[in-house]
Copies of this chain bind each other. A is one copy, B any other.
Amino acid sequence: MKLFDGGRAPNPRRVRVFLAEKGIEVPLVPVDMGAMGHRDEVVTRRNPLQRLPVLELDDGTVLTESVAICRYFEELHPEPALFGAGALGKAQVEMWQRRLELGLFNFVAQAFRHIHPAMKDWEIPQIPEWGEANKPKAIAFLRFFDGELASREFAAGDRYSIADITGMIAVDFMKPARIAMPDDCANVRRWYAAVSSRPSAAA
């Protein structure tokens, strides 16, 4: 198999961090997203939505969507369980994975795509007013998340999970999106420092 990878972009990194946590090595095919490589024929033929990452299995089967690719590897290599354990544990990871994706990552991404000058050929039309409207939504979520993290170590409970990966990547994405971490989010800062210092974060 091979993984068409997109370098520094958030979603490709999400899968690389996941694989590093699992201790799985997959051959990478680098794609230069800065040069719009994700819209060339090599990627488009495999994913008409022109998004990365794309996993191609040895028989040619293609999987897209970072979380779907992660789930494939979770099923093949169940330990350490990064999607949770038990019915309730799995549901709680799913809940927090979604909360962090829809309630933080998505808002940060919208702010970046609709405001940053480098995105003008990516997001058409860019609507700066919409980009700005996402910033307070992201901040409000961080304050909610901060309250949750007062009583536990990781996003979905006492064990590291894919929800932490999504959350870490969302916080890293705040920098180019020009959203500052609020001073009063001490628990989020503690959590972010912990997940960012894991060896997988360098992936």
Contact = CB atoms under 8 A, between A and B. Distances in A.
Interface of A: 48-49, 57, 61, 63-65, 67-69, 71-72, 75-76, 86-88, 90-92, 94-95, 98-99, 103, 125, 127, 129-130, 133, 144, 147
Contacts of A88: 57, 61, 63, 72
18 contacts: A49-B99, A49-B144, A61-B88, A63-B88, A63-B92, A64-B99, A65-B94, A65-B98, A67-B94, A68-B91, A71-B91, A71-B94, A72-B91, A75-B90, A75-B91, A127-B129, A127-B133, A130-B130
Contact of A67 (B65, B71, B98): B98
In the complex, the count of this chain's copies comes to 2
Given A49-B144, A88-B61, A130-B130, A95 B68 contact: yes
Contact of A130 (B49, B68, B103, B127): B127
A92 B88 CA distance: 23
Nearest to A110: B130
A64 B125 contact: no
A69 B48 contact: no
A15 B142 CA distance: 27
Given A49-B103, A125-B133, 6 more contacts: A63-B88, A63-B95, A65-B95, A67-B98, A68-B94, A127-B130
Contacts of A49: 99, 103, 144
Contacts of A95: 63-65, 68
Contacts of A91: 63, 68-69, 71-72, 75
